[in-house]
A and B are shown apart, each in its own frame.
Chain A
Amino acid sequence: MFDFLLDPAQLTDFLSTGLRLSIPLIFAAMGGLVCERSGVFNIALEGQILFGAFGAAVGAYFLGTPTGGLGFALLFGALSGLLLAVLGITLRVNQIVIGIAVILFSTGFTSFMSRVLFPGSGNSLKLQGFGPVAIPYLSDIPVLGPVLFSQDALVYVALLTVVAVYLVLFKTRIGLSIRAIGENPSAADSAGVPVFRLRYACVIAGSTLASLGGAYLVLTQVFLFSDNMSAGKGFIALAAIVLGRWQPQLAFLACLLFGFFDAFQLRLQFNHPEIPFQVFAALPYGVSILALVGLMGQAHPPAAVGRPYDREMR
């Protein structure tokens, strides 16, 4: 059953698959985490991945370069973040409701527009994507080299994002302010922290990060756009945030857990045709439930998350 772990070539393939399946989750989870740490629920991650994927396809198709695709993905992500921020922070609409609205809107909008913009719809595209970048010397290490150090550029970006989010949130003054407005916005406000501006910045930055997950799907994984290609990854990222107890490093591990179990599941199936495949498909979710109830203790979300800040409210 685990014989593939002993063969270096197969082990490399397994680990690379796991990492590749984790990357969109990592982007989305980091984006969602930044939003929630600042006190705003971002349920729309699923839609923002889709927007990112669509933007990447539009940019790469019309500008002909992967960088153009990346630019458009970021733009679409930022716009969806702005929409969330205006509705959720300024107009104080229920943040769960607007999240769902953005998801529904993204599904319809991208399906419709991809039929209008791309000849023969998005799944016949052959877009220009990013190629693998091998890091000298490090990529020659057996197993770990090909898995970690000869990946596509966006994989490195994802890993650096985790470090960056951690450093910004916990090692800088602005990170302290972000965490403060997520816990007690009125206290932060009275200490002179610009609550509204900072929440806007976090939501737009977080949404942009989530859209990178979609850009990754299009620009380094499949080079085309297909309807609904986010396929539930945004919701898994939400679970990863909770599983990681709103800590970037733990949420990162949770994403890896989901990604590797997915890869594991794809591998186990054909070794054991007599076991129903659904068992393996459900494995990552089973593990996350176990982790939630048993291993990680009680999860404490940021105290002010989901509650729009109103200076006049007592």
Chain B
Amino acid sequence: MIKHIVKLAAIAALSGFAAFPAAAQAVKVAVALPGVITDKAFNQNVHDGLVKARETLGAEVAFTENVSQAEQVEVMSDYARRGYQIVVGAGGEYTDAAKRVATRFPKVRVVVLNGAPTQGVATVNFKNEEFGYVLGLVAGRVTKTGTAAAISAQQFAAFTTAVDGFKAGLKAAKPDGDVLVAYTNDWADVAKAKEATLNLISKGADVFMPYLDAGWVGVVQAAQERNAHTVGILHESDNNLTTARLDFARALVDAIGLFQKGQLEAKDYRIGLTSTDQLGPFNSAVPEAVRQEVQKAIEDIKSGKLNPAKG
């Protein structure tokens, strides 16, 4: 028996020596995703970040797709148990699960992208109102009817703040303009997103801001069929007037980099809109004057002259 244990210890020591130097550097990161990595939107963006972290930081990465609300705690705890040092919930809907996992595994750094500030959890957020404002400004200059619309699956903080900014931006361009809001209750249901958009068009909206996963394709399709426009916030597409690049890939890589330096704390990180390369290319339907106006708005937001939540 003792011999056995010695033998095991020797094997453990040997394999440990062989593996340890590499393992000491490689940070292990796991992400729970609400959707699929091919949605050309949020999930894909986060996955890109994982790939980049593996390539540039040598991180060991893992992910699970289509994690439903009911499975969040289970999936994240499983990663924590298997020795992943950073466990990420991709999306604000993971906040509650993250809090529970963080309490149960205090040594693991739990991160929520787009989540409300939560004790014990590192949350990474974009200042959605700033991005929303700029999109609203462009929408307000291009709209013919004066009505724009925002579509999401569920009501949550990141979306409502983006809509607040969007409204303020639209009103800055068209003081009597209006923003309609619709929820489809499904991030990936393309058909329903399309029907919601067609209905909003019949209510007079002609610029759309979809805040969806795979469902955004339906919004873009409906807009194209009825000669309306879209602005992008989580997805990029040639049909967008412009796109707010909420670069979660870069945010995730930065967070992992901070962790390697021992600096990733359980606090709320906020990323603001500071330069034009956080916006995608402008569509030809956006006049030059508007592009300059956007440039100026970004500088005013940066300098604090403009409050994007109020206009």
- Measured CB to CB, the residues of A under 8 A from B are 4, 9-10, 13-14, 17, 20-21, 24, 111, 115, 120-124, 217, 221-224, 226-229, 231-232, 262-263, 266-267, 269-270, 273, 276-278, 281
Contact = CB atoms under 8 A, between A and B. Distances in A.
B147 to A, nearest CB: 10
B184 interface: yes
B149 A270 contact: yes
Main SS at interface, chain B: mixed
Contact of B189 (A223, A231, A267): A231
Interface stretch (B51-59, B79-87, B89-97, B196-204): B196-204
Nearest to A229: B190
Given A17-B199, A222-B218, A281-B185, 8 more contacts: A21-B195, A221-B190, A224-B190, A231-B192, A263-B199, A266-B182, A266-B192, A270-B149
A221 B155 CA distance: 26
B183 A229 contact: no
B47 interface: no
A120 B35 CA distance: 16
Query: Closest 5 interchain pairs by CB?
Result: A121-B38, A13-B202, A270-B180, A231-B189, A277-B183
Counting chain B CB atoms within 10 Å of each CB, the highest count among A9, A228, A269, A270 belongs to A270
Interface in B106-165: 149, 155
B273 interface: no
B199 A123 contact: no
B38 A221 contact: no
A10 B149 CA distance: 17
A266 B202 contact: no
B244 to A, nearest CB: 20
Main SS at interface, chain A: helix
A226 B192 contact: no
7 contacts: A17-B198, A122-B38, A123-B40, A221-B190, A222-B221, A226-B39, A266-B184
A10 B190 contact: no
Contacts of A120: 38, 40
B153 to A, nearest CB: 10
Given A266-B184, A270-B149, A222 B202 contact: no
Given A224-B190, A281-B185, A111 B202 contact: no
Given A13-B198, A266-B199, A273 B181 contact: yes
A221 B198 CA distance: 12
A10 B221 contact: no
B223 interface: no
Contacts of B186: 231-232
B66 interface: yes
B9 interface: no
A262 B192 contact: yes
B199 A267 contact: yes
Contacts, number: 98
A123 B202 CA distance: 25
Contacts of A266: 182, 184, 192, 195-196, 199
A269 B195 CA distance: 13
B221 A111 contact: no
Given A21-B195, A123-B217, A270-B149, A222 B190 contact: yes
Contacts of B202: 9-10, 13-14
A270 B182 contact: yes
Nearest to B218: A222
A222 B190 CA distance: 7
A270 B192 CA distance: 15
Contacts of A24: 191
A270 B179 CA distance: 9
Given A9-B202, A221-B191, A262-B192, A227 B183 contact: no
B191 A222 contact: yes
Interface string B168-196: 00000000000011111110111110111
A229 B199 contact: no
A74 to B, nearest CB: 20
Given A20-B195, A222-B194, A231 B221 contact: no
B253 interface: no
Counting chain B CB atoms within 10 Å of each CB, the highest count among A10, A20, A227, A266 belongs to A266
B264 interface: no
Nearest to B222: A222
Interface string B63-86: 000100000000000000000000
A288 to B, nearest CB: 16
B155 A276 contact: yes
Contacts of A217: 191
